[in-house]
Structure 1
Amino acid sequence: MPDTVPVPPEAGCHPPDFSHAAAASPAALLGLVSGLRDCVAAEAAAVLAGWGDRVERRAFRLSAANFADYLALRRHDLRPLQTALMPWGLSSLGRCEGRVRANLDAVAAALAAIAGAPRPGDFPGPRRYFRGERLLARNAVELFGPRPDGPRQVRILVTLPPEAATDPALMRRLVQAGTDAVRINCAHDGPDAWGRMIANLRGAEAATGRRVRVLMDLAGPKVRTGSVLTPAGDRRIGIGDPLLLTAAARFPRRDAPLHQATCTIPAVLACARPGHRVFIDDGRVGAVVTAAGPDGLLLRVEHAPPDGHRLKPEKGLNFPDTELGLAALTDDDRADLDFVAAHADLIGYSFVQSAEDVHALQEELRRRRPDDWRRLGLVAKIETPRAVRNLPGIIVAAAGRQPFGIMIARGDLAVELGFERTAEMQEEILWLAEAAHVPVIWATQVLETLVKKGLPTRGEMTDAAMASRAECVMLNKGEHVAEAVAALDRLLGRMAGHQMKKTPRLRALLSW
């Protein structure tokens, strides 16, 4: 079943022509808005029909209808219409994610009043107009727990270090500082250590009187460098250098004057073709495939630091142009699920790229908790171009069956999409999630310098302030993570008075 449902031609419409909207009268604008609403309704009905019976969960039905409305609305370029509505004191179309149909109804009713025309349908009223905000807030509570005390509305999620298994005081400091949820990365440690982390968390909860949710993150398929061989006297690789990524267990060209690295999942090398890009170590090295053969892939480095980069084992490999054919769930993930399904409140799903991936995990959960698996929260980590393309199908497959959230995994996403597109894409993911009333986790290197070194950069503070538009912000592990939680708690509390999702809140400004 395809993840994205195309609108069949017979279900479509002829959208209004907005090219001359700037000169239109209120009566003419009313016709344009009414025509747009009819078009959205027809296209959204086709999208909903294409989803079929995937929306099993009653709590998601209203959200699915609004999500279909939003997907239909954003098929059209509304910029001329937005500009034309502004002089009349109208248009919040740019902030209609959570309430598409109600927003169009409200604009049409206001235009009708201005033009002295009959009202086209019911005015939505405050309760229906703000229903999307209530649904999103309810879903955030279901996933992350009650809203924090005080002005802060955004939850704080902290990735636990290995020391959390042996240092109960660390867990108490995190909870006292304001941590709302903790993340256990199943790529590291094992069930014994995870159990001790959770036990220490329960002790911190008892000491502080706060309940903290546990997110356990499945590792997924990790494509990394294995062993590394460098030419004699040349330990760093630079622009123009050749690099052999080999599928062999041993280096096939041990005496050749070129850098070589094995791959932890050799089968992926057979999927790449000449011209495909390969990124190494979070994008620090960028290369292109020049040849593919029995030894593996021969690459030419096209991007590297000015003084080159030292290749190391266990560094990530990204193939943004290549369909790798990897299953999102590995055998290790299935083994880990025995513990995760029994102890986690939320399950993080790495490398999820399609609705079929979602269904595969849900089937594994059903086998382990047949009576109540739908109570488990699922968090999809969006980290590849394919996941972005299939995001509507992923949302419907997951939220249609269980509590669901999205993690914007900005690290891998930046490497896969390109750093220049990361900001644009994280915005679009936020919009789609809000339209479906799905909570979002803003992740990857938030306040990273503060967490690691004890002092943030100006850019990091601005990024953390932007994160206030998500429902949860994730901090990585580091020596100063408790201080970072406290700083983020204060920052998000201040931002709550200024920003609600995309909407500025006009709190009195008292700085002047």
Structure 2
Amino acid sequence: MTTLTPAELFREIEALRAAVRDEAAAILAGWSGARLPARALPAAHNLACYLALRRHDISDLQESLAAFGLSSLGRLEGHVMASLESVCATLGRLVGAPRPGRWRPGKIAVSGAALRQAQRRFFGPDRIGARARIMVTLPSEAAEDRALVRSLIEAGMTCARINCAHDDAQAWRAMAALVREESAPGGCTVLMDIAGPKLRLASVHAAEPVRLRRGDRVVLVRDLSRADSADPVIATLSHPAVVDSLSPGAEVWINDGRIGLAVTAAAPGRAVLIVVHARAKGERLRPGKGVNVPELGLALAPLTEKDRADLDVVAEIADSVGYSFVQRPEDVALLSGELALRRPGRPPLPMVLKIETPLAVRNLPRLIVTALARGPVAVMIARGDLAVELGFARMSEIQEEILWIAEAARVPVVWATQVLDSLVREGLPSRAEATDAAMAQRAECVMLNKGPHLAAGVRFLADVLRRMDRHQRKKTARFGALHSWPPEELALPPASPWVGGEGRNGERLQRSASRDAGLAGVSVTGRCGP
């Protein structure tokens, strides 16, 4: 690639800025049905600008900008037009343009402040000394075990998640009450996650507990009248009609992709499947586990009757509501209306959009804008269902794009599903899980699921998040001093302040070095237990 001259760059960036401005206006006009209030317009406008910008391939421009030491526009999600204006103004002065434009740095700071405010509202204050917060899915014991709740809060939990797919209203009230009693006022928020129309195993029938391995046979039936006594394992679904939609070759995934099956034969009300994916030691097959059939694209009602009953409790005790399997803007309007009926005269309940299907990914900008029009909104990357529905190969790419879109809309993100799963369940993390936890630091909140070593998992995650804050903030690398290679190893004297580092800059460098030295003394062992 040939590096453009500053004059060429100035013309290209000016043209890009004009195109983004015009295209963003058209996108906003298309969202006019959302009836955005004044408070939501800045975020919606920035999201529209980001979507307009990303219609263009600017990779060659980025390389030319970097060659002249200018912003490569690679970190502008939260402040698109301000970043384009700053580059235009700098290039204009560099080439002596008669009207290079003006740039006000404060515009860039506004987006970060809005994101931090939303993060605190949803996920509580910073109590662990890290930018990201920690959400914990409460186990059933949390309804009566005060010591367990206290240990989670002391370890670093800032948001307690109550999964309405489990337990009952009495237990949920007890969980929320203990969280609030054991945390300082406003110190830990409560998210209640409605179950939604998730397809699940309704029942499993076999002569003994089922552990499936590759090659095993499973029969799905609409009802037990379609079963045969010779069938080794029989299962029914929470939505029986799905069985009739299965055809030979279709893929069926169970328990967030832990069990993969292929349909080998199908008849009315009955489908025969063979296990094609499972660990060598096998996977347990239990009622209640989630089922995904990616090829079907199931069109299920966004709220079930159980959800509507659960919303009575959600409206009473929750600080925010998690919307499972939301897919369309109409779904957002439906839940908002249901909550308004249950909270007359009260502010809208903040909503966490759980992104779990390809349709939700495609509709994400409209989902966010529709929710912004009604009240505070956050996004959860629900990687369990999403990975199965999209395919594992695409998961990494899509979770990055969701992070970018959400930042452009100035809404916080939850990084969820199987974070430190081995540590929480078995007491020791895998190396890949430790790296995943470090990557999760770019989100505003990281979610842990329940397990016997949950408090240890919270402590470990808090430590990882604090360490990663020294090196990364969202997409921006932070070049603090490195302490893994001390001066004596490099045959160098201790570092001195850079030129011009007197006064405030010098003091800041000294404080930073002291803080980093303190962190460097923290043990980095593999011991994760209490």
Q: Tell me how far apart the structure 1 counterparts of residues 197 and 182 of structure 2 sit (CA, whole Å).
A: 33
- Tell me which moved more, 448-457 or 47-56: 448-457
Q: Which amino acid aligns with 1:64?
A: A
Seen in structure 2, the aligned counterparts of structure 1 residues 384 and 118 have a Cα distance that, compared at 3 Å, is same
Q: 1:381 to 1:253 in 2, by over 3 A?
A: same
- Aligned partner of 2:373 in structure 1 is 400
Q: 1:503 aligns with which of 457, 473, 476?
A: 476
Q: What's the counterpart of residue 423 of structure 1?
A: 396
Question: What is the CA–CA distance in structure 2 between the aligned matches of 1:169 and 1:503, rounded to whole Å?
Answer: 39
* 1:96 positional shift: 0.9
Do residues 319 (structure 1) and 298 (structure 2) align? no
- Deviation larger for 140-149 or 70-79: 140-149
For 1:141, the equivalent position in structure 2 comes to 120
Kindly tell me: are residues 132 and 233 of structure 1, through their superposed partners in 2, closer, same or farther at Cα, counting changes over 3 Å? closer
Matched, 1:173 2:146: no
How far apart are the structure 2 equivalents of 1:50 and 1:193? 44
What is the SS of the residue equivalent to 1:507? Answer: coil
In the alignment, which of 122, 128, 153 is matched to residue 131 of structure 2?
153
Counterpart of 1:44 (choices 24, 28, 31) is: 24
Flag the 1:258–1:193 CA change in 2: closer, same or farther, 3 A: closer
- Residue in structure 2 matched with residue 219 of structure 1 by the alignment: 195
- Does the Cα contact within 8 Å between 1:268 and 1:325 map onto a contact in 2? no
Aligned twin of 1:57: 37
Matched, 1:282 2:264: no
> How far apart are the structure 2 equivalents of 1:140 and 1:369?
23
Determine the C-alpha separation between the residues in 2 that align with 1:411 and 1:449: 15
Deviation at residue 98 of structure 1 after TM alignment = 0.6
- The amino acid that maps onto 1:184 is I
Q: Report the alpha carbon displacement of residue 373 of structure 1 after superposing the two structures with TM.
A: 4.1
Distance 1:233 1:138 in 2: 49
Gaps of 5+ in 1: 1-20
Equivalent of residue 486 in structure 1, options 447, 459, 462 = 459
Describe the SS at the equivalent of 1:95.
Answer: coil
The aligned counterpart of 1:12 is: none
Structure 1, residues 133-177: CA drift from partner, whole Å, max 9, x if none? Answer: 122112212322333363x12111111111111111111112222
Matched, 1:384 2:360: no
Alignment check: 8 A CA contact 2:213 2:280 kept = no
User: In the alignment, does 2:63 pair up with 1:88?
Assistant: no
Residue 465 in structure 1 maps to residue 438 in structure 2: yes
The root-mean-square deviation of aligned C-alpha atoms, in Å, is 2.4
Question: Contact 2:211 / 2:282 at 8 angstroms: preserved in 1?
Answer: no
Deviations 1:73-124 (A, max 9, x none): 111112111112221112331111111111111111222222222344322x
Taking a change above 3 Å as real, the CA distance of residues 234 and 117 of structure 1, as seen in their structure-2 partners, is closer
The 3-state SS of whatever aligns with 2:162 is: strand
**Corresponding letter in the other structure for 1:500:** R
**What's the counterpart of residue 219 of structure 2?**
244
2:497 paired residue number: none
Q: Distance in 2 between matches of 1:335 and 1:232?
A: 35
Are 1:129 and 2:108 an aligned pair? yes
Post-superposition shift, 1:456? 2.2
Distance 1:133 1:225, change over 3 A: same
Determine which of 72, 77, 92 is the counterpart of 1:97.
77
Superposed displacement of residue 195, structure 1: 1.3
Counterpart of 2:49?
A: 69
In the alignment, the residues of structure 1 paired with residue 208 and residue 194 of structure 2 have an alpha-carbon distance, to the nearest angstrom, of 39
What amino acid is aligned across from residue 160 of structure 1 in structure 2?
A: L
Q: Are 1:277 and 1:321, in contact at CA under 8 Å, matched by a contact in 2?
A: yes
Q: Secondary structure at the match of 1:65?
A: helix
Q: TM-score scaled to structure 1, two decimals?
A: 0.89
Contact 1:144 1:180 in 2 (8 A): yes
Letter in 1 for 2:23: E
Q: Report the Cα offset of residue 266 of structure 1.
A: 0.9
Q: In structure 1, how many angstroms separate the alpha carbons of the residues matched to 2:188 and 2:76?
A: 32
Structure of greater relative contact order (alpha carbons < 8 Å, 6+ residues apart): 1
Cα distance 1:174–1:255, how it changes in 2: closer, same or farther (>3 A)? closer
Instruction: Tell me if structure 1 keeps the 8 A contact 2:27–2:48.
Output: yes
- Name the residue aligned to 2:11: 31
1:372 equivalenced with 2:372 (yes/no)? no
Distance 1:309 1:141 in 2: 39
Give the superposition deviation at 1:291: 5.2
Q: Residue 189 of structure 1: SS of its match in structure 2?
A: coil
Range 22-31 or range 339-348, more displaced: 22-31
Match of 1:441 among 373, 390, 414: 414
Matched, 1:477 2:450: yes
CA distance in 1, matches of 2:423, 2:314: 30
